[in-house]
Structure formats: C-alpha cells, structure tokens
Chains A and B, each alone.
Chain A
Amino acid sequence: MSAAEERQAREERWRTSMAAAQDGDAKAYESLLQELLPEIRSLVRRRLPDEAAVEDIVQNTLLAIHRSRHTYRSERPFGPWMRAVARNAFLDHVRVRSRRVEREVPLDAVPEPADDPAPMLERVGLSPELERALAELPAIQLRGLSVAEAAVKAGVSMSAVKVRAHRGYRALRARLEGVEGFRDG
C-alpha cells in the first residue's frame, strides 16, 4: 500500500470512528483518540520545544476535540478538522500560560484524598469553620476521584487539576490560619 493510500485509509477510518463516536459509540471513540495520540503529540512537538509541556497540551487538545466533536461533519475530511482543533488548543495554551506564568505556584504532587475526612474533622472540632472555608473555596473537589476523572469532570487537563487542587489547599490553609485550634500539618 502506498503512503497516499495509507493516508486515505487512515482518514477514512478516522472519519468513520468519529461518526460512530458522535452517535455514542464509546469503543470507537476511545480507539480513535488512542490512534490520534501520536499524531497530536507530533503536532505539538513541532510547535513547542518545551518537552515538559507536551502532554499537558495533548490533554488540552483531547479535551477540545471532546468538547467540539459535534462540530465535525462526516462529509468533510477529519484530518483538517482535528488539526484545526489542535492548533486552537495550542494557541489557547500559549495565551493562558503567558497570562498565568508569573502568578502561578504549581504543585508537584497531589496527595490522595482521604477516604472519609468527616470523622477526623469532627475529632479535631473544626467542622463548622472548615465547612465554611471549604464552601468559600473556588477549587474543584476531588471527592475520591482519580486526577484523570476529576480532570474530565472539570473539563481541564490533569496538570490543571493538580494546580487547582494546590490553589485550594493554599486558600484553605490561609482561611484556617485564623481559626482557633487549627494546627499546621
């Protein structure tokens, strides 16, 4: 099979898989996204020398594909649609990054959430203050979800979940510092 024929066959496969995904076929969607991963990675690497940020942009691109999958029309080729989504996701990433780069303090690792924090909170007697502080937090709630689950639920990449969680912990700490009985650590 020549390279052109191979490209055409791949395009046809993508087109069919996306049409099936639009009808709710999760299996076709997962295999399509897995097949797109190397393509998206190479697109991102061509534009970005920073290897560390590649997976983050790849995830943002996957999210963008997921959110705009209804805009794909199966009578049109899939490749240009996917590349346009990837380009837009990349530009979004660059814009957001340049805006936040100076004020962001990221997190290296997010601790696993406690199975049930309620008994511990009752024990230390901080429940009302903590609840109030938690209610005021803009951070997303992990609530026993994995980072990947939380990311999909919140519509952001996994590193964005980690950064938000870190922001939440910092904000919570700041709010609780004035509460009597609060012990650091």
Chain B
Amino acid sequence: MAEPTPTEGETSDFVRELSRDLSPVERIARLRTGVVRVLALWAGVSLVAIAVKGVTGDVSDPARMLGGFGAILAGLSLVGVGGLVAALSTSVPGRESTARVASGLVAFGLLLAMGLGAVLLRADPSAAVAGTFRSDMMCLTLAAIVAVLPSLGALLYVVRAAPARPVPTLWGVGLGCVALAAFTVQLGCMDPAFRHLLVSHALAPAIGSAVFLAPLWLGFRRLRQA
C-alpha cells in the first residue's frame, strides 16, 4: 500500500494553517553573545576556584610553560573555546561553517594537549614522579564541579535554539566546558607527574564529556518539554 502523500494544494493549505494565529517569538541571542555568557560563567567560577586553591608556581616558570605543562594548557583552552563554539553553532541553523572551524580548533587542541603535551612531558625531568590516584580524582572532581555552571549556561542556549542532532551538540557542550574547567584546575594543580597531567588534565575533556552527556541529555529533554 502506498504511503499517503500530500498534494501541492494541500501544502498551500498547510502554509495558511501555519500562518494563522501566528504569535511573535523572542529571537535567540546572537551566537557570540551566547558564547561570551558561557565564558563569563566559567571565568566567574574559575576565579572562585583559584581564590580557594591558589595558583601553581609552574604558571610563572617559563621552562614549564614552554614544555608539556604549557602545551596541555594551550590545548585545553583551544578544546574549551572550540568545543563550546562548535556546540552552540551546531544548534543554530546556518552556522555550520562556524561549527566546522571550531571543530578544527578542537582537533588541533586535542592534538596539542594529548600529543605534543605527552611528548614534551616525557622529556621533562620534573614530570618523572609518581602521581597519586587521590590527586587524579581530586582534579577530575574539581573539573567536573567547575564545569557545571558553564554547562548549564550552554545547555540553556542549546535548548532555546534548534539543534539538528542534540546528542553530538550536547557532547560538544560537555567537551568544551570540561576542557575549560580542566584549564582552571591545571592552574592550581600542584602535582607535576606525567601520568597525572595526562590523565586528569589532558584527558579530562574526553572523560568529562562522556560523564556529562547523560545529565545534559536529560536536562535538554526536560527543559524542551517544559
């Protein structure tokens, strides 16, 4: 049996029906504004975290900043901003080219943090110490805490927008926000161990985005229904 297909005339009726009782809509904020709002949230939470935890001396050490430590920081910042921009732009129709550029930034950032970062840390004698599981968990937990508010901010934007594929978009939200949070955590992290920096900092966005996906998806569905 053939599927019922509407005719062109029926489509015109459909258009009339769509236009009837049309109500005004509140336009979504500019993409740039959305990104800046989330970054502001991240900056606010980061200031509190840094005020509580302090800043590691590695930040003012040129040798560390030009080595694996710095490469991971640079990589995380690219993954953070790129992931966030990619996620928000995929939720706005017509911004696909922005999303593509931002995804390129994410790929480059991951390469920088996990590839170059690992190579440079291997050659860094100060990283040749045994890290502890406790400090791994501490940094990952703190990154998750710092990422919560920015993720919520980004989620609100995505819910208001029209993402074509919500799951990859929400995964991008988690990736970007956890990367930004891992950046903040690394500024205050006193553990210089190779394994710790790689697992709890460079890999934090990958781990965090997987953990954040389910709650973000649930939040998305709930807010969409509301």
| B92 and A163 contact, CB distance less than 8 A | no
Q: Is A68 an interface residue (CB 8 A)?
A: yes
The stretch among B23-31, B107-115, B130-138 that forms the contact with chain A is B23-31
- Is B161 on the interface with A (CB-CB < 8 A)? yes
Q: Is the CB of B6 within 8 A of A33?
A: no
- Interface membership of B4, Cβ < 8 A: yes
Partner-contacting stretch, out of B7-15, B43-51, B78-86, B213-221 = B7-15
Q: Which residue of A lies closest to B16 (CB)?
A: A30
A84 touches B96 (CB 8 A): yes
Who on chain A is nearest to B24 by CB?
Answer: A24
Residue in B93, B95, B96 whose CB lies within 8 Å of A68? B93
A26, A147, A148: which has the most chain B beta carbons within 10 Å? Answer: A148
> B5, B14, B93: which contacts A84 (Cβ < 8 A)?
B93
- A34: interface (CB < 8 Å): yes
In the complex, the chain B residue whose C-beta lies closest to that of A40 is B11
Interface band, chain A: 35 or more
List chain B residues, Cβ under 8 A from A108: 1-2, 4
Chain A residues with Cβ below 8 Å from B160 are 70
Contact indicator B17/A151 (Cβ below 8 Å)? yes
A37 with B11, Cβ < 8 A, contacts A25-B22, A71-B28, A81-B93 known = yes
Quick check: A159 and B5 within 8 Å, CB to CB? yes
Residue of B nearest to A33 (CB): B15
Contacts of A83 in B (CB 8 A): 94
Q: Which residues of A contact B225 (CB under 8 A)?
A: none
Residues of B near A92 (CB, < 8 A) are 164
Distance in angstroms from A150 CB to nearest chain B CB is 9
> Which of A71, A146, A152, A162 meets B161, CB within 8 Å?
A71
Report if B222 contacts A (CB, 8 A).
Answer: no
In the complex where A30-B15, A148-B17 touch, is A70 in contact with B28 (Cβ < 8 A)? yes
User: CA A92 – CA B5 in complex, angstroms?
Assistant: 17
Instruction: Using A72-B27, A105-B1, A106-B1 as known contacts, say yes or no to A55 and B18 having CB atoms under 8 A apart.
Output: no
- Which of A24, A106, A151 interacts with B3 by CB under 8 Å? A106
Identify which of B1, B6, B164 contacts A56 (C-beta below 8 A): B6
Of the stretches A6-14, A58-66, A167-175, the one at the interface is A58-66
Residues from chain B with a CB closer than 8 A to the CB of A146 are 13
11 contacts between A and B (CB under 8 A): A22-B25, A53-B3, A56-B6, A59-B6, A59-B14, A71-B27, A85-B94, A88-B164, A158-B10, A159-B4, A162-B4
Closest 7 pairs between A and B when the two form their complex, measured CB to CB:
A68-B162, A30-B19, A24-B24, A81-B94, A84-B93, A88-B164, A70-B25
Q: Taking A63-B18, A70-B28, A77-B94 as given, write out 18 further A-B residue pairs in contact, using a Cβ cutoff of 8 Å, ordered by the A residue number.
A: A24-B23, A27-B19, A29-B18, A30-B16, A33-B15, A52-B5, A64-B162, A66-B18, A70-B26, A88-B164, A104-B3, A105-B1, A106-B4, A110-B4, A148-B14, A151-B17, A157-B14, A159-B4
Could you list which residues of chain B lie within 8 angstroms of chain A, going by C-beta atoms?
A: 1-8, 10-28, 30, 92-96, 160-162, 164
Binding site for B on A (CB under 8 A): 21-27, 29-30, 33-34, 37, 52-53, 55-56, 58-59, 62-64, 66-73, 76-77, 80-81, 83-85, 88, 91-92, 104-110, 146-149, 151-152, 157-159, 162-163
